[in-house]
A and B are shown apart, each in its own frame.
Chain A
Amino acid sequence: MHFPISGADISPIYLVVVGFLIGVMGGFFGVGGSFIAGPALRAAGLDWNFAVGTDLAHIVGKSVVAAKRHRALGNVDLRLGLIMALGTIGGAEVGAQLIEFLKHSGNVNSVVSIVSIAIYVSISTFMIWESWKTLRLQRRKAAGMKVPGARSSREDESSFQVVTQSIQKFRLAPMISLPASGVKSISIWIIVLVSFIGGLFSGFLGGGAGYIRMPMLVYVVGIPTHLAVGTDLFEIIISASYGTFSHAIKGNVDIMIALVMNTGAAIGAQIGAIATQYFAGPKIRLAFVPLPLVGAAIVIYTMTTGHKL
């Protein structure tokens, strides 16, 4: 199928399948899936600037579906999501300007490839260490107090909790409480900083940057994994919409490709969101680990061989 806006020829079946897989992952992990979608679009023949912009547009649609389902499951903290949107929009604009700068200097593809590989590998390494440590800790505790069939809040604890607690002690006004997420008091600046960093990656590498925001919500802000997944998706709708607008103005969005991908993502996102009910927090985080690595592998393959799938 020919897409005249980007000038690319891509099979619609390929786009629907990629959309479906990203939809399942997005609904389950609360991520936009750009670590797969960006490289998959790049591998299909799109330049990085189009891959980044188009991926953002696709993520808006997919996140609407997944966030709606998570809201029904009680996994969305609207207050936190709305505050985060402010920081994300600022960060997304800075990221989009960086892309624009690199596009004009002619090295957008190589710089974004190298940065994305470094980020994806770092996130996976950290999460595998933390989840494995937490699960080991839980197994030790469970040996002493076993409750068959019960799923306590203890299952969502993190071995990084000490650091999270010290971050929450940072008391720069205004302080707010997040009752829906179980956070009694936290500086609004921590939330803004977390969302700004997420937005920066979103504008620079594409997607909703859930691959960095979801872990930060758990480890820095200290909210349960299920809520981090749902709230992240809700926030992604706002930030990715802004990112899409910003990239579309710069000519980086092929909306036809995004619409085709979304037909697969709509059903995948629902399946992924429903599946979160059957898994505890650390297991969701551990299962998340291979995803950024797959993204990194695709980027390395495209960089080293120059071959487009």
Chain B
Amino acid sequence: MAVTEQPRKGRAEASHTFRALLVELPIYGLLVVAYFFLVLHFLTDWLGDLHAKHTTLYSLVSIGLVIGQAVVLEWVTTLLLRLFRGRSE
């Protein structure tokens, strides 16, 4: 009994995760599109200017931006995964 229960439980968990991802991806996609237009659009000129005139500052800002964005996106994806995984169970 225990032997058949285990794979069944694993399959159910995988199915929940898959469904959660299907719901999460479009929401995440919308957030990313909004992010493109609101943030990246306004940063382009400023970063181009920095790259041309202040390379050291550009280097530091680049690392700050990429880490900052990663932390925020990690927080958003974890939240979404938790939210939808929780709801599907």
Residues on A facing B (Cβ under 8 Å): 4-5, 12, 16, 57-58, 60-62, 64-65, 68, 148-149, 241, 244-245, 248-249, 251, 253, 255-256, 258-260, 262-264, 266-267, 270-271, 274
Contact = CB atoms under 8 A, between A and B. Distances in A.
Given A149-B3, A248-B55, A266 B73 contact: yes
A249 B77 CA distance: 32
Contact of A270 (B43, B47, B71, B78): B78
Given A149-B3, A251-B55, A60 B48 contact: no
Nearest to B78: A270
Q: Helix, strand, loop or mixed for chain B's interface? A: helix
B65 A259 contact: yes
17 contacts: A4-B44, A60-B63, A64-B67, A244-B66, A245-B59, A255-B58, A255-B66, A256-B43, A260-B40, A263-B36, A263-B69, A264-B32, A266-B70, A267-B25, A267-B77, A270-B74, A274-B17
Interface of B: 3, 6, 17, 21, 24-25, 28, 32, 35-36, 40, 43-45, 47-48, 51, 55-56, 58-63, 65-67, 69-71, 73-74, 76-78, 81
Given A57-B62, A266-B73, A270-B77, A149 B6 contact: yes
A62 B47 contact: no
Contacts of A64: 67, 70-71, 74
Contacts of A266: 70, 73-74, 76-77
Nearest to B71: A64
A241 B64 CA distance: 10
A248 B48 contact: no
A255 B65 contact: yes
B56 A249 contact: yes
B51 to A, nearest CB: 5
Contacts, number: 101
Nearest to A4: B48
Contacts of A270: 74, 77-78, 81
Contacts of B43: 256, 259
B36 A61 contact: no
Given A148-B3, A149-B3, A270-B81, A260 B63 contact: no
Contacts of A262: 66, 69-70, 73
Contacts of A12: 36
Interface centre among B21, B66, B74, B81 (most CB of A within 10 A): B66
Given A149-B6, A248-B59, A271 B73 contact: no
A270 B73 CA distance: 11
A4 B71 CA distance: 26
Given A60-B70, A64-B70, A256-B43, A245 B78 contact: no
